[in-house]
Structure 1
Amino acid sequence: MRYMILLLLLSNIAFSQDTTQYKVEGRHNSAAAQQQPYVILISADGFRYDYAEKYQAEHLLELGKEGVKAASMIPSFPSVTFPNHYSIATGLYPSHHGIVNNTFYDPGKNENYSMGNKPKVRDGAWYGGTPLWVLAEQQQMVSASMFWVGSEADVKGVRPSYYYNYSERIPMESRIKAVKDWLTLPEDQRPHFITFYVSEPDHAGHRFGPEAIETAQAVREVDSIIYQLTEAVRTTGLPVNFIFVSDHGMTAVDREHPLPTPAAIDTNKFLIPASGTMMVLHAKDKTDIQPLYETLKKEEAHYKVYLKTNAPAELHYNDTDDRMNRIGDILLIPEWPYVFSTRKPGAGHHGFPPLQVKDMHATFMAWGPAFKEHMSIPSFENVNVYPLIAEILKLKITEPIDGRKEVLHNILK
């Protein structure tokens, strides 16, 4: 067992040091694709809906003012990184695309998926839906990815024409240069859809909390990165549209009173693949579900307990929605500001139901030739970004999605 753990750790270290740009040979834009505009979809992890104003991200505030800015963007539940980045990319709720948490158990495979397990992150068999880069490539439009959840995997057998495996070792100036280089390729090879991911201010928010000076600094660093990226792209003279989003927000939690794992849970009978802002239980024997549920229901204290069959419809996270059978049999959802933990929790957390905890809300801004100017819009769900980008690029959506074109159609010129 120790040998296997060591191999996994060494494997992940090797993956994290990979700074190679990968190119899929033989891809070209069709003549029709070459006539379309360009979209760069940017995500700053954990960039809460109010961070730009709160910490005076001057460049983002100006860009949002010039184009379109939403009051907030509502993440899907659970409001954590992998499910929401992939919901933005597919237009599907997590229960529909299958990435139901950062770490989860698949009973059919009898395996855990974890965002830290690089071989599984890069295995397309875990991912449902049709991500935007796959949709583009299927319709002979070249795409590129400077990181995004799912972009390293062969989803439906397809990766972006140009992509990098996620690595913090790639300097930011090199990432920005890569985007500019892509946009200066010959027209038949030039990507019209590009994703660009930044890991801050999520790290700072977790470690120091959303009110900390370190988080403010991280927000301003992101602001500087966006400015550098937009300036580099501007020199190409191309009609590039920018969409700046985040996956979720961040909130301060009660660090002095973490919730323990309820004593009624027998870990010989139940698997617990995830905890924190949602404790997930999978029963080894289904006859154990109801008795434990009834016991936990009587003992509820600073958390709500649900069966997969009676989870609130607003979460889109229940038996009816569970297309890949990956949602736990029993879900324990803490009441804000509490979290499940065996030690003192970190200062900042996300994952709470976004319709109950406003701090979970994310950011949405858009600017460029396709967008109206000086426009403010109300909050909306993140699954609606997918049909917006498809409309800009004139991509035909080929399978049912949860996002609706009419939600954001009016922000386009």
Structure 2
Amino acid sequence: MRSLKRERDRKRRTRTYDARDRYEWLTTKRWYPLARVVFLLAIGFTALVLAVFSIRSAWHTTTSHAPGAPTSSSHPPKDKARLATSLLQENVLSNQTHPWRKTVILLSIDGAKPQYLENGQMPQLVEMGIEASEVAGDGNNGIIAEYLQPRFPTLTFPNHWSLLTGLHVESHGIIANDFTIAPPLPPPSGSSGRHFQYTDPLQSHDGAWWKGIPLWATAERAGVPSGVMHWPGPPRLSTGDRPSLFEEYDGKWTMEKRENKVREWLSLPVQKRPQVMCLYIPVVDQAAHAHGPDSYEAAQALGAADGFVATLRNLIKEFGAEHLVDLIVVSDHGMTKTSQEKLVYLDELLDASLMSEVHTKDGWPSVGLHFKGNAVRQQELQQQAEAQLRRSLLSGRAFQVFKREELPEHWHWRNNERIAPLWVVPKLPWSITSREEMRKFGGRYKPIGNHGYDSNEPDMAAIFVARGPSFKPRKSIKGPALVGWHNMYSFDNTEVANLVAEIIGVPPDVRAPNNGTKGFWDQYLK
């Protein structure tokens, strides 16, 4: 037994000496230091790969992914930081040359109405909406609504904010293009005054006026970069939210400059490239106001706007992103022709003593009246003015008179104290003015085209056209087949914000509440 033990000890010592000899032999070689570094790096890399796959596997059990991602979960993340990571890291696709993520370009053509599409003045836009995937060969589908229902008042700033927030005007608080918060109500917290004037950035860029969460802020909160070009609204909310990229409105911008800016944005690295772009062009509205909605100048503006739609489509193709980008085109309201013979003079409806007691007038072409004095005095003056206005109604039907609490329910425009207590609302195509205002106009009512009327008036209807990889073929839309230039029924513009959120993959439970309809887009999206 002892001899066997001594033999085993001898062999173990021999193996130890042999290993030591081999190690000493290796260390004498010139290539040994490099081989040692390579070996250690290989071990470290293997450990890192195993760790990453372990973390990714655990992440997939708790995180949902945006539409179009390789995998998905039925349980959307509750934590916004995790949602942001999910949308940014998991939904990375490709345009064959660069990483890409699902993108939405939302374009607003101010003042465009469905008649322009129906009568063939915007052929590129109509083609975009009705062209089927098998015709274009790009796997995309178009959708074009009979019309988009705007909010009352059918004005630019209220409706553009409804488009982005999904809120009725009474909910988001931009109740007109210009209005005043009269005493005894306090001005908005942090604002520079009591008067909101859409043409003055000192007021219109103050986030304290703007309520609700626009879709660009919804995207940013989910970690999705956004870009805003000239769209009405503030560059920063009172909550501190701001888009990644913001271009303040500049009336001198040409279509070419707009095209170059979009190309610049699309050329950015994937981490900085906006996945939500909100673009605005005013040319149709400007021409129709100055020359009338059926004028040669309006037709020229329509051609320019339609050409810009074609430009955007070509840019998407240029970047090889047809399967990655959805293009949505909307407007805020329509337009109607005004008449020099269809004018209502407010200073002829109210006597001089009452006109002198008016503190401020809100809105246009409707007029909201705030009166001077304390609350009791204001109430007395309001009652006197209402009585005089209603007597004038007996002589014609050019306008309507409403106390705030009596404004039509379908307008969703009375449950907000920013709305003046008494309103004179013209019927289409009448306009409210005054002798004083006409003197400023040189005796002739300047706008030849106008808007701001009842949102149910056909001339006030807006447009909706979309095309992209997210939409189902037309044949899958529920209901009877639609014949003609549209393939979708009309709907409210408060649905648009949810559409964009659905496409970029922000779950409903992490969006701000709005007046959109739950599940509205289910039948239209893949």
- CA shift for structure 1 position 161: 0.4
Task: Name whichever of 123-132 and 257-266 sits farther off.
Answer: 257-266
With the length of structure 1 as denominator, give the TM-score of the two structures.
0.88
Q: Give the percent of matched residue pairs that are identical in Structure 1 and Structure 2.
A: 32
Whole-Å separation in 1 of the counterparts to 2:163 and 2:236: 16
* Residue of structure 2 equivalent to 1:5: none
- CA shift for structure 1 position 275: 5.0
Residues 235-314 of structure 1: pairs in structure 2 closer than 5 A: 235-238=318-321, 239-261=324-346, 262-264=349-351, 266-284=354-372, 285-300=378-393, 301=396, 302-314=398-410
**Which runs of no fewer than 5 residues in structure 2 stay unpaired?**
1-83, 92-100, 132-141, 188-192, 373-377, 439-443, 478-486
How many residue pairs get aligned? The number is: 381
Residues 2-401 of structure 1: pairs in structure 2 closer than 5 A: 30-33=85-88, 35=91, 36-66=101-131, 67-107=142-182, 108-109=186-187, 111-238=194-321, 239-261=324-346, 262-264=349-351, 266-284=354-372, 285-300=378-393, 301=396, 302-318=398-414, 321-322=415-416, 325-342=417-434, 343=438, 344-345=444-445, 346-355=447-456, 357-374=457-474, 376-396=487-507, 397-401=510-514
- CA shift for structure 1 position 182: 1.6
CA-to-aligned-CA distance 1:133-186 (integer Å, 9 cap, x gap): 111111111100112111424342122101111102233222222222222222
Matching residue within 402, 407, 412 for 2:515: 402
Whole-Å separation in 1 of the counterparts to 2:243 and 2:355: 41
Distance 1:84-1:373 versus aligned 2 partners, 3 A rule: same
* Residue of structure 2 equivalent to 1:9: none
Whole-Å separation in 2 of the counterparts to 1:162 and 1:362: 27
Say if 1:78 and 1:100, in contact at 8 Å, map to a contact too. Answer: yes
* Residue of structure 2 equivalent to 1:22: none
Q: Secondary structure at the match of 1:392?
A: helix
- Give the greater-gyration-radius structure (CA): 2
Whole-Å separation in 1 of the counterparts to 2:226 and 2:147: 27
What residue identity is the alignment partner of 1:411? Y
Whole-Å separation in 1 of the counterparts to 2:411 and 2:379: 23
Task: Name whichever of 360-369 and 335-344 sits farther off.
Answer: 335-344
* Residue of structure 1 equivalent to 2:81: none
Say if 1:47 and 1:200, in contact at 8 Å, map to a contact too. Answer: no
What residue identity is the alignment partner of 2:496? V
Say if 1:272 and 1:279, in contact at 8 Å, map to a contact too. Answer: no
Distance 1:287-1:46 versus aligned 2 partners, 3 A rule: same
CA-to-aligned-CA distance 1:260-284 (integer Å, 9 cap, x gap): 0122472332234335421111123
Whole-Å separation in 2 of the counterparts to 1:139 and 1:61: 33
Distance 1:240-1:389 versus aligned 2 partners, 3 A rule: same
Q: Secondary structure at the match of 1:304?
A: strand
Say if 1:30 and 1:188, in contact at 8 Å, map to a contact too. Answer: no
Whole-Å separation in 2 of the counterparts to 1:255 and 1:55: 29
Say if 1:55 and 1:219, in contact at 8 Å, map to a contact too. Answer: no
Say which structure is richer in helix: 2
CA-to-aligned-CA distance 1:362-404 (integer Å, 9 cap, x gap): 0000100001234711111101101111111112453321111
CA-to-aligned-CA distance 1:334-371 (integer Å, 9 cap, x gap): 1111101233332111000111x110000000100001
Which one has more relative contact order, counting CA pairs under 8 Å at least 6 apart? Answer: 1
Whole-Å separation in 2 of the counterparts to 1:221 and 1:256: 32
- CA shift for structure 1 position 405: 3.5
Task: Name whichever of 186-195 and 101-110 sits farther off.
Answer: 101-110
Distance 1:97-1:409 versus aligned 2 partners, 3 A rule: same
* Residue of structure 1 equivalent to 2:12: none
